[in-house]
Homo-oligomer: A and B are copies of this chain.
Amino acid sequence: MTDPKGENAFPTANCRAAIENVTPEIDGGQFAVKRTIGERIVVEADIFADGHDVLGAVLKFRAESESNWTEIPMEFLVNDRWRGEFTVTTIGVYFYTIEAWVDHFKSWRRDLKKRLDADQDVAADILVGVELIENAAKMANAAETEKMKAWANALRGEKDSKSAGALALDSEMAEVMVCYPDRRFATAYDKELRVTVDPALARSGAWYELFPRSTAVAGAHGTFKDCEAQLPRIARMGFDILYLPPIHPIGKSFRKGKNNHRICQPGEPGSPWAIGSSEGGHKAIHPELGTLEDFRRLVENARGHKIEIALDIAFQCAPDHPYIKEHPEWFLKRPDGSIQYAENPPKKYEDIVPFNFECEDWRGLWSELKSVFEFWIEQGVKVFRVDNPHTKPFAFWEWCLGELKRKNPELIFLSEAFTRPKMMYRLAKLGFTQSYNYFPWRNSKAELTEYFTEITRPPLSDFMRYNLWPNTPDILTQFLQSDGREAFMIRLILAVTLGANYGIYGPAFELCENAPREPDSEEYLNSEKYEIRRWDLAAPQNLEGLTTRLNQIRRENSALQSNNGLKFHPTDNEQLLAFSKTSDDKSNIIFVVVNLNPHYTHSGWLDLPLEEFELEPSRTFQMHDLLTDTRFFWSGRRNYVELNPHRLPGHILRLRRYTRTEHDFDYFL
């Protein structure tokens, strides 16, 4: 009743409980909370009523396909805060809400106890209770109805006030009564909150980005078949997703040359992001890569290696994309009748034509773009990396991703939006499964601690799932340029351990490729975006071994497959970053210590909150370094760490509580 209009505009029912401040709830319920299959949702709310009565409250949830709610009793915590939780067990959409009421039976029982403790006569109170019991009996099943009626009769018959009191407090009967509260005046929370439940691969996966055209063994243009030959190596390294830059025909007019040169020399392959030519557009395959049949086989064979193929969807056209002739109405026309190419004034990108999402036929354009996803879904693709989603309308993504996930809830969409935080958050809220983030530019202990503390806690963690990329074809960070192999090792260990999802652009990454096109640039020299590269996988700096070991550790340690349990710990050296990850069931605890300085050995003392990990201050525990299989014997809060970046800049320590002592010998007794 927010704005009563007429005299005596009474509320529709006399409900006394208030339900406020429900968490999680994204923007007042406008957007869904994200979870992956098997994860819990802990729901809390402020629940209270006037006066001093005892309340009851249930958390109600259902999968979208179910018509009935499942109810979970909520527990009172403190300061009018209540909590309940449930686990999502099917992919798709769930709903949850709350109901709360004044529980007259519980209030009566609490008060009766106090009266009996004060030796008061409770004859009249017993009769009040009998009425409550008889009313509840009407709602119960036959067997319980009988029990409750018998109880009520016994209470009515018992003339001794003390004995009646003891009988009235019967705890077994109280447990029956609690199942049949009078909920006629229950307050229903006025929103049904949504959860998007994604597959486990959305929660945790290692991505490997690869240009298929650079996979040919000899000098030729690589094909999907060459790419298939890479699958065993990629699988052996432990990657879950193989992500390919756009695989469509590459535009020929205004094609860019080597190192983004404006003039393209004959034979140069152009950028895969300049999509479309007379050979086809977003639903076609670049002829030199192979056929649609080849692509389908790649997807299938990859799956045989437990690898999903991820496609890059970049909604932009080369000037010779078929759409431009077939649908000139989808593009902005200049006053001279030509099509408006991409610009960031005063810069011009004449090899790219953007769609005009505001055109008159926006519905036609949007439908066609959705059908691009649908086409590749039909070819077996379940994972998409979306290029620059922040330059297309939010409403388009909400509609498009909503429609796609409604039919294919197992789909995964990675948002490549390197832009201002609120735009990135919005894209996550309206449907993207995962998001790139600012990890590439967070290097110092303070930066990493602050940033990862923020993004692993609600509200962000409830709707935004990050995917950490130490490099991409567009991003060769200054840190990676700063030193050779050591810098790459540092960033790889951080990505693998801080991110349940992470990815590398290889083989540039494993091979520690770190030459920029020019000083202060983040562009690669001889970038694969504009030319075919030959990678020498036998080169001594190859980090394949470390990568393989790290991915193996990820697979064996559930703590690293989620970001829920991340916590930073103090060290007395600003170059030493220490954090722990704990699995939801607390059975797996991993401590990571990284020397953030690629140049020098650093040592220091780590401060551990023993009580949080249920460690006794007086007892030795083992820290088992999973990278080197070394076992450190630690005790107490403060322990010493020393890391030489030229050997290995990090520890990944699994806590092993048990350390053998003389008590373990049979003959000790």
A8 touches B426 (CB 8 A): no
- A12 to chain B: closest residue by CB: B395
A16 touches B51 (CB 8 A): no
B128 touches A391 (CB 8 A): no
Given A10-B366, A367-B8, A422-B20: A115 in contact with B2 (beta carbons within 8 A): no
Partner of A362, one of B14, B31, B366, B426: B14
Q: How far is the CB of A601 from chain B (nearest CB, A)?
A: 39
Please encode chain A, from 231 to 248, with 1 for each CB lying within 8 Å of some chain B CB and 0 for all others.
000000000000000000
Known: A117-B346, A124-B335. 14 other contacts (CB 8 A): A1-B395, A1-B398, A2-B194, A8-B367, A10-B363, A14-B393, A16-B393, A18-B426, A20-B422, A49-B393, A51-B391, A52-B391, A111-B345, A112-B345
- Whether A326 is near chain B, meaning CB under 8 Å from some CB there, is no
- Copies of this chain assembled into the complex: 2
B51 touches A390 (CB 8 A): yes
Q: Please measure, in the bound complex, the distance between the C-alpha atom of A9 and the C-alpha atom of B393, giving whole angstroms.
A: 16
Interface set of A (CB-CB < 8 Å, partner B): 1-4, 7-11, 14-16, 18, 20-21, 27-28, 30-31, 46, 48-52, 79-80, 111-112, 114-115, 117-118, 120, 124, 127-128, 131, 185, 194, 334-336, 343-346, 357-358, 362-363, 366-367, 390-395, 398-399, 402-403, 406, 420-423, 426
- A354 to chain B: closest residue by CB: B51
Partner of A128, one of B111, B185, B335: B335
Q: Please measure, in the bound complex, the distance between the C-alpha atom of A8 and the C-alpha atom of B406, giving whole angstroms.
A: 12
Q: Please measure, in the bound complex, the distance between the C-alpha atom of A242 and the C-alpha atom of B27, giving whole angstroms.
A: 44
Q: How far is the CB of A81 from chain B (nearest CB, A)?
A: 9
Partner of A48, one of B46, B120, B334, B422: B422
Q: Please measure, in the bound complex, the distance between the C-alpha atom of A111 and the C-alpha atom of B342, giving whole angstroms.
A: 13
- A80 to chain B: closest residue by CB: B422
Given A367-B8, A398-B1: A420 in contact with B48 (beta carbons within 8 A): yes
Q: How far is the CB of A52 from chain B (nearest CB, A)?
A: 7
- A338 to chain B: closest residue by CB: B124
Residues of B within 8 A of A426 (CB): 18, 20, 48
Partner of A28, one of B18, B28, B124, B366: B28
B1 touches A79 (CB 8 A): no
- A370 to chain B: closest residue by CB: B8
B358 touches A16 (CB 8 A): yes
A423 touches B128 (CB 8 A): no
- A28 to chain B: closest residue by CB: B28
27 residue pairs of the A-B complex, CB under 8 angstroms, read A1-B398, A1-B402, A4-B399, A8-B367, A8-B403, A10-B366, A10-B399, A11-B398, A16-B393, A16-B394, A18-B394, A20-B422, A20-B426, A46-B422, A48-B420, A49-B393, A49-B394, A51-B391, A51-B392, A52-B391, A79-B422, A80-B422, A112-B345, A114-B346, A120-B346, A124-B335, A127-B336
Given A124-B335, A391-B51: A345 in contact with B80 (beta carbons within 8 A): no
Given A8-B367, A80-B420, A423-B80: A14 in contact with B346 (beta carbons within 8 A): no
Residues of B within 8 A of A79 (CB): 420-422
B128 touches A16 (CB 8 A): no
Q: Please measure, in the bound complex, the distance between the C-alpha atom of A3 and the C-alpha atom of B346, giving whole angstroms.
A: 41
Residues of B within 8 A of A51 (CB): 390-392
